[in-house]
């Protein structure tokens, strides 16, 4: 007997940004394995009696190993359950989706992937700005600011990232952004390139800060705390006059 796994993307955390398909899978799941950033009010859609299992990973905290999370998915599905693997943002972006999909395929378990609102799209929308701009930003690039050790990845395409005509979204870059900014400036990115820091996006403690690559690198270097953070870099200068929500 084999069940079925739905990878459900929860978006940035606001339950109103869930897709109808995501809500349906949550309401009909026998077990929900959820990330820290995909919990809270989103889990209110779970039916009574569903198993709710926290498997989130957060920097600097004791977290389940990836092989353990994959094993849980396989074991629950093999018992015939409808399983939801609830991931923050979009499951396909820096969410360790590949490892879990491989485990299910090797076990012969069927699955689906339900897309969601990406964190960069949500950050731009909340800030009231576009991710692209006609003539000045025709390309958007998503990168991670943290490798498996927690440090800044060394194999990034620095030339592409220093392109002043692109919008760059940096995931998991809170701790490494000061170093990243230094590298980008050394590669030719103007220090006054606009940058936006979005912390705890779509949550009550949400905070948006608009500055430049240079000023925000200094701010983050001196900042304390571990709020989930996304950083946008790009040609946003003309949008400063309108302020931020």
Distance CA 206, CA 148 (A): 27
What are 145's two structure tokens?
């600011």
Q: SS3 for 40?
A: helix
* Per-residue CA distances from 135 to 44, 139, 196, 210, 235 (Å): 44, 10, 20, 22, 10
Between CA 149 and CA 146 the distance in angstroms is 7
Active-site choice (21, 24, 36, 57)? 57
Does the annotation mark 219 as catalytic? no
How far is Cα 102 from Cα 60, in angstroms, rounded to an integer?
27
User: CA 42 → CA 38, 45, 217, 242, 245, distances in Å?
Assistant: 7, 6, 33, 32, 23
H-state helical runs in the chain = 20-28, 66-78, 97-107, 119-127, 158-161, 177-186, 213-222
Q: Is 57 among the catalytic positions?
A: yes
Query: One of 14, 30, 35, 163 is an active-site residue; which one?
Result: 35
**Whether 45 contacts 26, CB under 8 Å:** yes
Of 199, 209, 157, whose CA–CA distance to 180 is shortest? 157
Q: How many CB atoms lie within 10 A of CB 110?
A: 11
> Which candidate, 176, 163, 142, 18, places its Cα nearest to that of 86?
18
Residues catalogued as catalytic = 35, 57
């Amino acid at each position: 007997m084999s069940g079925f796994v739905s990878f459900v993307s929860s978006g940035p955390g606001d339950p109103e940004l869930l897709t109808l398909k995501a809500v349906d899978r949550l309401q009909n799941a026998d077990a929900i394995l959820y990330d820290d950033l995909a919990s809270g009010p989103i889990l209110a859609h779970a039916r009574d009696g569903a198993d709710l299992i926290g498997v989130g990973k957060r920097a600097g905290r004791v977290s389940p190993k990836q092989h353990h999370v994959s094993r849980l998915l396989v074991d629950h599905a093999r018992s015939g359950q409808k399983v939801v693997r609830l991931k923050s943002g979009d499951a396909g972006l820096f969410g360790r989706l590949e490892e879990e999909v491989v485990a299910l395929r090797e076990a012969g378990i069927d699955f689906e992937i339900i897309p969601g609102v990406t964190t960069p799209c949500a950050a731009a929308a909340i800030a009231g700005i576009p991710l692209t701009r006609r003539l000045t930003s025709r390309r958007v690039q998503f990168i991670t600011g943290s490798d498996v050790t927690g440090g800044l990845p060394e194999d990034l395409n620095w030339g592409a990232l220093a392109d002043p005509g692109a919008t760059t979204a940096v995931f998991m870059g809170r701790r490494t952004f000061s170093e990243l900014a230094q590298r980008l400036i050394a590669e030719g990115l103007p220090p006054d390139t606009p940058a936006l820091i979005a912390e705890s996006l779509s949550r009550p403690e949400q905070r948006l800060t608009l500055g430049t690559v240079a000023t925000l690198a200094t701010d983050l270097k001196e900042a304390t705390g571990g709020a989930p953070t996304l950083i946008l870099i790009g040609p946003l200068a003309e949008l400063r006059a309108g302020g931020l929500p």
